[in-house]
């Protein structure tokens, strides 16, 4: 019976490593979209998986595992971004884009630069939205979840998700209009 404990631990660790392998990239990308900072996104990802590891024994198959992990990740994002904003998140420049996307060898450098600038402006605008709107629009449009999945992840009713997305689109139009009117 004593030999069973290490085998059970090894099995749990193998399961956890599979979970990380299957979900780490998506959680990292979600965190990056929410905070616009590579190092903070990495920290959010790490804290998320620490919480997943610690809470895995409490997971009850009431939702899909991925939905549960996304819910944890969103909670971690909110907490860590709020802590970071106390250090004035808005004044921290975005990290080097080289970590995020490969530079195309062929193509107009100015066109590539403008695409990156537009992506940054959209990310900033999304992060300026109220948290529920930001979460809903990020999960639906950028992570391509269905409305019902967004509702499960955010733990809110389906019509509330639709309402948050509708308001987010209106607010994003206004925020981006202000950005482009200034230029």
In order along the chain (183 residues), what is the average pLDDT of each group of 10 residues?
54 85 92 87 94 87 87 92 63 40 50 69 86 92 90 94 95 84 63
Burial profile 151-166: b = 16 or more Cβ within 10 angstroms, e = fewer = bbbbebeeeebeebbe
Task: Measure CA of the first residue to CA of the last residue in the chain; give whole Å.
Answer: 71
User: Which CA distances in Å does 112 have to 30, 36, 60, 98?
Assistant: 23, 19, 46, 12
User: Is residue 145 a contact partner of residue 63, using CB atoms and an 8 Å limit?
Assistant: no
Burial profile 125-142: b = 16 or more Cβ within 10 angstroms, e = fewer = bbbebebbbbbbbbbbee
Residue 59 DSSP one-character state: -
pLDDT at res. 1: 40
pLDDT at res. 122: 82
- Domains of the chain and CATH, by start: 1-94 (1.10.1740.10), 101-183 (1.10.10.10)
User: Which CA distances in Å does 109 have to 94, 98, 101, 115?
Assistant: 19, 14, 14, 10
What one-character-per-residue DSSP string does 149-182 give? HHHHHHTS-HHHHHHHHHHHHHHHHHHHHHHHHH
pLDDT at res. 114: 66
pLDDT at res. 10: 73
**Helices 65-85 and 38-55: angle between axes, nearest 10 degrees:** 130
pTM of the model: 0.66
């Amino acid at each position: 019976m004593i030999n069973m404990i290490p085998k059970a631990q090894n099995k749990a660790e193998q399961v956890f490593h599979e979970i990380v392998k299957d979900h780490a990239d998506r959680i990292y990308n979600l965190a990056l979209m929410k905070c616009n900072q590579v190092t903070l996104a990495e920290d959010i990802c790490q804290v998320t998986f620490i919480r997943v590891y610690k809470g895995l024994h409490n997971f009850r198959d009431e939702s899909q595992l991925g939905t549960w992990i996304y819910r944890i990740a969103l909670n971690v994002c909110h907490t860590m971004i709020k802590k970071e904003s106390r250090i004035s998140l808005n004044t921290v420049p975005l990290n080097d884009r080289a970590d995020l996307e490969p530079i195309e060898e062929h193509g107009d450098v100015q066109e590539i630069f403008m695409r990156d600038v537009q992506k940054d402006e959209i990310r900033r605008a999304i992060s300026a939205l109220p948290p529920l709107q930001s979460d809903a629009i990020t999960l639906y449009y950028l992570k391509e979840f269905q409305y019902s999945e967004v509702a499960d992840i955010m733990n809110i009713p389906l019509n509330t998700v639709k309402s948050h997305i509708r308001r987010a689109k209106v607010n994003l139009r206004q925020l981006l209009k202000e950005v482009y009117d200034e230029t």
